[in-house]
DNA sequence: GCCAACGTTGGC
DNA sequence: GCCAACGTTGGC
């Protein structure tokens, strides 16, 4: 069971859009970066992730679950690009901003802080619990 | 809107 | 295989 973080610019694909897809979830398309793709290759059904709004809000706003392992990205014919499917699991009661994360020494090793351009990134269990706590989630959501 | 950081492309 | 040029991302 691993933890991840998915970044999206809300103008392109927002947490609201993701929630609208409900239980069925949606393909996480559009990744054109090898490192991010390789992270998706590692994902298993039931892995949990944070949904992060980049650019405008710069905050963690939701929790998602991986509901389909990696497969070709339907938005391109280029066989190099693959993606997983994710579905919304829970709102973060109090969104955790990038400023909050940067201000927390326990999170100083987060990829989000040190490699801001990687759009799909791993999150350690400690980081996962800390952000859940900061966001007002009493306990980290369990996967179905 | 600017710019730093990073990734990719392509000439040599 | 190196590196300059270019494009994109994303924080501020």
- How far is Cα A62 from Cα A21, in angstroms, rounded to an integer? 14
Sequence-separated (6 or more) residues with CB below 8 Å from residue A15: A51, A53, A61, A62, A88, A91
Strand C within 7 A of A116 CB = yes
- How far is Cα A125 from Cα A35, in angstroms, rounded to an integer? 20
Sequence-separated (6 or more) residues with CB below 8 Å from residue A35: A118
In this structure, what token pair is assigned to residue A120?
């799909």
Strand C within 7 A of A102 CB = yes
Confidence of residue A37 (pLDDT cuts 50, 70, 90): very high
Residue A76: its pLDDT value, please? 86
The Å distance, CA of A93 to C1' of B7, is: 35
Q: Cite residues whose beta carbon is less than 7 Å from strand B.
A: A 32-35, 115, 117-118
Strand C neighbours among A 3-62, CB < 7 A: 7, 9, 54-55, 58
List the Cα angle A41/A44/A48 in 5-degree steps: 110
Confidence of residue A144 (pLDDT cuts 50, 70, 90): low
Task: Concatenate the DSSP letters of all residues of A118-136 into one string.
Answer: -SEEEE-HHHHHHHHHHTT
Which nucleotides on strand C sit less than 7 A from a protein beta carbon?
Answer: 8-12
Mean pLDDT (chain A) is: 93
The conformation of residue A12, written as its DSSP 8-state character, comes to T
Nearest residue to B7 via alpha carbon and C1': A33
The phi and psi torsions of A86 (rounded to 5 degrees) equal -135, 155
Confidence of residue A142 (pLDDT cuts 50, 70, 90): low
pLDDT score of A27 more than 80: yes
Residue A143: its pLDDT value, please? 56
Note the pLDDT tens digit of each residue in A40-96.
999 999 999 999 999 989 999 999 999 999 999 998 888 889 999 999 999 999 999
- How far is Cα A32 from Cα A63, in angstroms, rounded to an integer? 23
């Amino acid at each position: 069971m691993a933890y991840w973080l998915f970044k999206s610019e809300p103008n392109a694909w927002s947490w609201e859009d993701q929630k609208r897809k409900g239980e069925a979830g949606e393909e996480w398309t559009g990744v054109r970066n090898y490192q991010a793709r390789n992270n998706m290759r590692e994902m298993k059904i039931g892995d949990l992730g944070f949904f992060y709004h980049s650019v405008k809000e710069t905050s963690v706003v939701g929790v998602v679950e991986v509901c389909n392992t990696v497969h070709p990205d339907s938005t391109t014919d280029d066989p190099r690009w693959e993606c997983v499917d994710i579905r919304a699991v829970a709102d973060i009661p109090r969104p955790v901003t990038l400023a909050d994360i940067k201000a927390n020494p326990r999170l100083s090793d987060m990829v989000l802080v040190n490699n801001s351009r990687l759009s799909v990134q791993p999150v350690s269990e400690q980081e996962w619990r800390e952000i859940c706590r900061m966001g007002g989630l009493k306990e980290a959501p369990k996967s179905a």
